[in-house]
Every structure is written in structure tokens, then in C-alpha cells.
Amino acid sequence: MRKASVGMKKLFYWNVLTILFILFWMPASNVAAATEPSEVERIKEEATLHVIGRVTTHQLVEDRSEKGEPKQKRRFTLSITQMIKSPSDLKDSDSIEVFYTYIPNWSTNQYNGSDFLDIETGDVIEIWLNKTSEGWESALGAATYEHKTYVNNRTELIPEPFANRFNRIIEERIIDGPFLPIIVLMLLVASLFIIGLLSIKQKKTPY
């Protein structure tokens, strides 16, 4: 009888731990507060260069990945179709090189802010730029560029590790999905049902 009681307690605690694990095992998502629209508009107004164009090439400049945080510095060539604002030395330019930070889609939830551009050859974009020590860059990351044409067939330049893919599927399908309350409820019901059966069995067992 004592062994059965200890077994029920272990089963109960195990189910409680499982439920807590599901509820609290969530990869951290670092989301910074969005820049105020008025501030974005001010930065656009003050940007040195404002163009619309088609991305013709993009290439790696430097791999800046750290452990668990894939990241690349890249540059793309933009064939200018409309020069809206420019310094005098660029008025006659038909293309420009733009530097940007790339991260793969599968890791976007790891980073704060809106510094990262989603660029693919064939995209047509409108972009507001400032000159930095590295070259022309978007004035405020993703907040100061817009897709006019978006190429659907996009290349993932950094392959997703299997372990990360497994964790992401768990997060998207279970933790962030609509079925988490149902799973938790089913675990609770199953736990109580098994404990009830063991209790009945224990009462029927002769001393």
C-alpha cells in the first residue's frame, strides 16, 4: 500500500513538472519598441539619398555570426530606376552599392530592433540611405525601406541547424499554437484518471 501511494505521488509530480515545462519552456523573443512613425518620417526627410531601384546582385562582405546568433554583413547592387533625392555627385548614377545586415528568417525572433533587411535579387525597393564608414546603408534599418516588388522564391543563405528547427517547430506548433491549453488540459485529465485508477486498485488490494 505504501509503495502504491509513493508511486501515485511520483506520477502526480512528474505530470506537474511536464505541464510546467510546456508552459515555461519558450525561446526568448527580444522585441524592441517600434520607432514612433513621426520619428521615422523625420529620419526619411533627413536621409541623404532616396531612391527606387531593382536589386541586381548581393554578396557576402563578412560573416559576423556568434554562438547561436547567425548574422552576416552583406552588400547589394541597386539598379536605380528613380532618383528622388541625392547629393550632387550621385545625380547621374544609374546604380549604387548598399550595405546591410542579413539574418536568416528562422532566427529573426532572437534579435532586437529593426536593423535587418530582407533582400533578394529581383526585388524592387524604395530606400532612404545615409553614408556610413562602411558605405551607403538604410537610414533606419527595416523602417526606411519598402518593397515595391517582392520575389517569392528567396534563398536562405545560412542553413538552419536541425536542433534549432526542432525547437522552432515545437514553439510554432505547440507553444505558440492554438492547442497548448488543450494539451495541458489533456495531461491534467490523464494524470487525474491514472491516479484515480491506482487509488481504486489500491482499495481493492487486500491487506
In terms of pLDDT, which residue wins out, 167 or 51?
51
**Range from 13-27, 95-109, 122-136, 157-171 that averages highest in pLDDT:** 122-136
**Range from 90-104, 120-134, 147-161 that averages highest in pLDDT:** 120-134
Q: With cut-offs at 50, 70 and 90, classify the pLDDT of residue 111.
A: low
CATH number of the structural domain spanning residue 61: 2.40.50
Residue 190: predicted pLDDT:
74
Query: What's the CA gap between 143 and 148, in Å, rounded?
Result: 14
Give residue 26's Cα distance to chain centre: 14
Helix axes 180-204, 2-24, angle to 10 degrees: 180
Same domain, 65 and 8: no
Same domain, 130 and 158: yes
| CA torsion, ordered 184, 190, 194, 200, to nearest 10 deg | 110
| CA torsion, ordered 41, 42, 46, 49, to nearest 10 deg | -10
Question: The whole model's pTM is what?
Answer: 0.65
Same domain, 137 and 193: no
Query: What's the CA gap between 51 and 83, in Å, rounded?
Result: 5
- Pairing outcome for strands 72-85 and 95-102: antiparallel
Count structural domains, the chain: 2
- 123-148 pLDDT, tens digit per residue, is 999 999 999 999 999 999 999 999 99
Quote the domain boundaries for residue 192: 2-28+177-204
* Residue 109 pLDDT exceeds 70: no
Q: Where are the beta strands (DSSP E) in the chain?
A: 49-63, 72-85, 95-102, 124-131, 136-138, 145-149
* Residue 105 pLDDT exceeds 70: yes
Residue 170 lies in a domain: no
